[in-house]
């Protein structure tokens, strides 16, 4: 039982489409994350929000746009993606971001994205 939900679970989109991924955490955490997971590669951190403020943006292309309206919700808006953006997109949350076990991240089930 993760306490982090993501929708949709699967998404197929064309390169000219605009779509959004949604993440919601029910754990009362203060930090939320977006990751990209490609086969046989390490998880790639994309964005970090702490108390609704974006604290990290790891050189992610502008075709990915995050939004964090409150500490429980996180969106990833997608626009004019490329086929190489096809991957599993994972959302996670943690209680804090200042070291120690409170930094333990809890993950949602992910959105499997395919860009045609």
107 belongs to the binding site for another protein (CB under 8 A)? yes
Q: Kindly state the smallest distance separating residue 29's Cβ from another protein, in Å.
A: 13
The binding track of 82-101 with respect to another protein, each residue x by CB under 8 A or -, is: --------x------xxxxx
- Tell how many helices (H) and how many strands (E) occur in the chain: 0, 11
CA angle 90/106/99 to nearest 5° reads 115
42 belongs to the binding site for another protein (CB under 8 A)? yes
Please provide residue 78's backbone torsions phi and psi, each rounded to the nearest 5 degrees.
Answer: -115, 135
Q: Which residues bind another protein (CB under 8 A)?
A: 2, 4, 40-43, 45, 48, 56, 90, 97-101, 103-110
């Amino acid at each position: 039982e993760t306490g982090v939900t993501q929708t949709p679970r699967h998404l197929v989109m064309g390169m000219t489409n605009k779509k959004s991924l949604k993440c919601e955490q029910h754990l009362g955490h203060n930090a939320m994350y977006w990751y990209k997971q490609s086969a046989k590669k390490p998880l790639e951190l994309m964005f970090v929000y702490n108390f609704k403020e974006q604290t990290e943006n790891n050189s992610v292309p502008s075709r990915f746009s995050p939004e964090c309206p409150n500490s429980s919700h996180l969106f990833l808006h997608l626009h004019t993606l490329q086929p190489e953006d096809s991957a599993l997109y994972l959302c996670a949350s943690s209680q804090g971001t200042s070291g120690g076990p409170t930094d333990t991240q809890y993950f949602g089930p992910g959105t499997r994205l395919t860009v045609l």
